[in-house]
Amino acid sequence: MKRLWPAVLGLMLISSSPLWAKTMFITDRIEVGVRSGIGIEQKFVASVKTGDRVEVLEGDQNWTKVKLPSGAVGWVATRFLVDQVRTATAIDPKTQGELKGVKDQNLALLKENEEGKKALRDLQQEKQTRVAPELNQLKARNDQLEKQINELKQQATSNQQRGKNQHLNEQIWWFLAGSGVLFVGLILGWLASRGKKKSSRFY
């Protein structure tokens, strides 16, 4: 029974570490930090990039101990290891040309966008430095003109009222003058008639 324990222990170690002594590669287009121990709190000892070859020493589903071509040993997250290097699919020249054209258009649009933003900023700055003071001056001038217009309206109303009074005075004067002439005419007529009566007494 005691002899079975080493065998059972060996089977358990083998089953729990299926990646041991296996060459694997770093996946995705990334740079992975190799740490001195298990856990992200451990310090970095090296870094590996996509496609770098590492030798798996031990590990589980979360962390794997690897040996780098330089001889450095450390731990990396198991999810960054793959059995084969993923090669990029070859692209035909026509597609490459189209992609380049799209990229150039994208760069041109980005440049145009930046130029538009700069122009907008310049306009806003110009508005703050030049247009705003001019608007304030125009507003002040407009207020002054409105004040002058109101004063002219009041003056015109006053002149109109004064003109009405003057016209009324002229009418009264002409009425009185006409009445005076008529009165004088009546007096002269009355005197003339008396003079005739007196002269008739002597004949």
d(CA 48, CA 192): 146
In a domain, 193, yes or no: no
Q: Looking at residue 53, which CATH number applies to its domain? A: 2.30.30.40
> In terms of residue numbers, what domain contains 128?
89-173
pLDDT classification of 202: cutoffs 50, 70, 90:
very low
69 and 95 together in one domain:
no
Neighbours of 55 (CB within 10 A): 15
- In tens, the pLDDT along 50-75 reads 888 899 999 898 999 999 998 999 99
In a domain, 178, yes or no: no
pLDDT classification of 48: cutoffs 50, 70, 90:
confident
- In tens, the pLDDT along 93-113 reads 777 778 778 878 888 888 888
